[in-house]
């Protein structure tokens, strides 16, 4: 995931526990373990809201746009992927959001769990 243009940091997260199972990048300005836990709350809240609304569809990805960054969350589907998501932070000035989404979808498809 860190080969995606503009990547600042990335993680594989278990949203049942809020734990980052693996991280790459980040740093003093981006604590990926804190981000994993916080984004777990975001994913859980959206899933709860969809359930309350009776929406019987799956989340493909979620985008949070900040002034200088994109935060992209992609829930992993398929066998072995239940409860996991890919999380990547992109520098808004260097990233191509459409390409990043495409590459993240490809990474999910190639992921072996």
Position 63 scores a pLDDT of: 97
- Residue 79 pLDDT more than 70? no
The answer to whether 46 and 36 are in contact (CB under 8 A) is: no
pLDDT in tens, 40-66: 999 999 999 999 999 999 899 999 999
In angstroms, rounded to a whole number, what is the distance separating the alpha carbons of residues 4 and 58?
24
Please report the pLDDT score of residue 80 as a whole number: 62
pLDDT of the residue at 77: 86
Mean pLDDT of all residues in 35-39: 94
pTM: 0.91
Summarize the confidence of residues 62-82 as an average pLDDT: 89
């Amino acid at each position: 995931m860190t080969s995606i243009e503009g990547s600042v940091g990335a993680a594989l997260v278990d949203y049942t526990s809020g734990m980052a199972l693996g991280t790459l990048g980040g740093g003093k300005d981006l604590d990926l373990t804190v981000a994993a836990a916080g984004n777990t709350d975001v994913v859980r809240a959206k899933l709860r809201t969809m359930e309350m609304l009776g929406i019987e569809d799956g989340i493909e990805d979620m985008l949070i746009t900040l002034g200088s960054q994109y935060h992209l969350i992609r829930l992993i589907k398929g066998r072995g992927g239940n409860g996991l998501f890919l999380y990547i932070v992109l520098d808004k000035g260097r990233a191509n959001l459409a390409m990043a989404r495409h590459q993240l979808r490809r990474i999910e498809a190639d992921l072996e769990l």
